[in-house]
Structure 1
């Protein structure tokens, strides 16, 4: 069955991470599937790095210019010819049995659109290939068949690693939410969009080590808060369309998470623990004060950067004509 699988690795300017990531894919309990590195115009010689493995299963597709991470992801979808597809990230590592377990689930439930798994957040690079935690945490998997059931998992505090998803390429369509609407948070919007049409399975054990480092979007404090607001709006749209009960969970959990994401924390682990630790007062202060403040702030910034300069330019043109 592994011959029906392709693994794509999205790569950009992290050769040491890429080497470690490829090693974790080669360590899988199944063999025979191709590994394609989709490099997003890195500054280093990707082919030279990959050739160190001397493995003809590994190939490189290099983008001449950087097309951003999500476009690189959709490129993998478009290039794939296999029945099953995994699009992995170069700073993550997969547990040796991950792909085999996902294929086993697909073999039992061929109607699933995708199979994903829990992740283990790692802060020490030396621990990235250590999966000893799995020995005591195997718990099987859950099936989700209702529309937008993935919202239950998001709001329940579970961590979905976007790179841990194996897609049933033979049945999923090219469902792509508008990238310009979501940017760095598009992974959540994408899986939510898929879950509207397809059932999925979630493996609760942490079959992926996700390295927490400064280069991640998770640590990028400069992104536009409007992307968060767009994601919130998308959640609400889906909740109203299918299950109104999600709205209550949304207010009490997701907003608290976004609130904490926008405040300095010692490390990212506290972010994912914040749902249970943030007080009710903080949750509602976020809704009443923080959301309107950020919305108005973004509108003001847009006005200063775009509207005022255009108005000033038009005024100069009129003065010149006089």
Structure 2
């Protein structure tokens, strides 16, 4: 039986899909199959897929675009028989050792729910030639929350899941609650039973571009509040004053930045977002407002800065 199923989520990016499949073909580990999930692209993916005769690839094209989260959920819902699952993105690229390292770690620590890796953000497919710090560290849910809260490096698409653990999650509920920011809450929930591991080596090339899902996907303020609340429940359960204080500052800054981003998108009052966050998360409104002003002041464009300050003042 094949050990690993790799889903590739793709939409209208033939040049990226080709590079992605090339990186999969170059893996030192090869006991896997690939399923490309095409989100109703306007080009023929098969022309690219057919070139990779050395890969065991299946192709599914949706009749309409079901969104990035919908495509992820489609992968999750498929009935596969492999003990391990990976849901990768067409605009990312794997280092040749990625799958080997993730699978060997999952086999060494049998209770883990998933293994992921660090990444480098680049505009080409060049990787660092050495991985001297390529050590995998095991995390409990609490320490994972602290790691992510402190901007620890983890590429979501690098994650290899134990299929049985992933299938036990109510993914539809997570996407409904968090929308496009469901990734961190999902990984935190999975790590509650058995933990997880993150490899320090930058084994994925994460591509930043205007069409990526994190930029174009649907997001509401309630999703941001749910994300912050997810961290709050985990951090406040432990009796650590330093972690609790760090959480409050992190939450304040995160809410300030999110309020600015949503205001620029929706042209609504920033203060409305800040007041709602303060009440729900029990964080001082004054502190969040000060953090918001600090972020606005650093914006280089005068017109945008002036507009945001006006929107902050409204209803205040």
Instruction: Quickly name the TM-score band, shorter chain normalised.
Output: 0.7 to 0.9
Cα distance in structure 1, aligned partners of 2:13 and 2:259: 26
**Deviation of the 1:41 alpha carbon:** 1.4
TM-score computed with the length of structure 2 as normaliser: 0.76
Q: Which residue of 2 aligns with 1:112?
A: 112
**Deviation of the 1:258 alpha carbon:** 5.5
Matches within 5 A, 1:1-322: 3-55=2-54, 57-79=56-78, 80-122=80-122, 124=123, 127-128=124-125, 130-131=126-127, 133-144=128-139, 146-175=140-169, 176=171, 177-220=173-216, 223-241=219-237, 246-257=243-254, 259-260=256-257, 287-288=288-289
Contact kept, 8 Å, 2:252 with 2:291, in 1: the verdict is: no
**Deviation of the 1:59 alpha carbon:** 1.6
Unpaired stretches in structure 1, ≥5 consecutive residues: 265-282, 301-322
**Deviation of the 1:78 alpha carbon:** 2.6
Q: Deviations over 1:55-102 (max 9, x none)?
A: 451121112222222232222223232001111001100110000011
**Deviation of the 1:110 alpha carbon:** 1.3
Change over 3 Å in CA distance of 1:257–1:208 after alignment to 2: farther
Cα distance in structure 2, aligned partners of 1:287 and 1:208: 35
* 3-state SS in 2 of match to 1:52: coil
For these two proteins, the number of residue pairs brought into alignment is 270
The structure that has the greater radius of gyration is: 1
Contact kept, 8 Å, 2:256 with 2:289, in 1: the verdict is: no
CA RMSD of aligned residues (A): 3.0
**Deviation of the 1:247 alpha carbon:** 3.3
Change over 3 Å in CA distance of 1:260–1:5 after alignment to 2: same
* 3-state SS in 2 of match to 1:181: helix
Change over 3 Å in CA distance of 1:22–1:149 after alignment to 2: same
Cα distance in structure 2, aligned partners of 1:165 and 1:262: 29
**Deviation of the 1:44 alpha carbon:** 1.3
* 3-state SS in 1 of match to 2:223: helix
Contact kept, 8 Å, 1:149 with 1:195, in 2: the verdict is: no
TM-score computed with the length of structure 1 as normaliser: 0.74
**Deviation of the 1:259 alpha carbon:** 4.2
Q: Which residue of 2 aligns with 1:319?
A: none
Unpaired stretches in structure 2, ≥5 consecutive residues: 262-283, 293-307
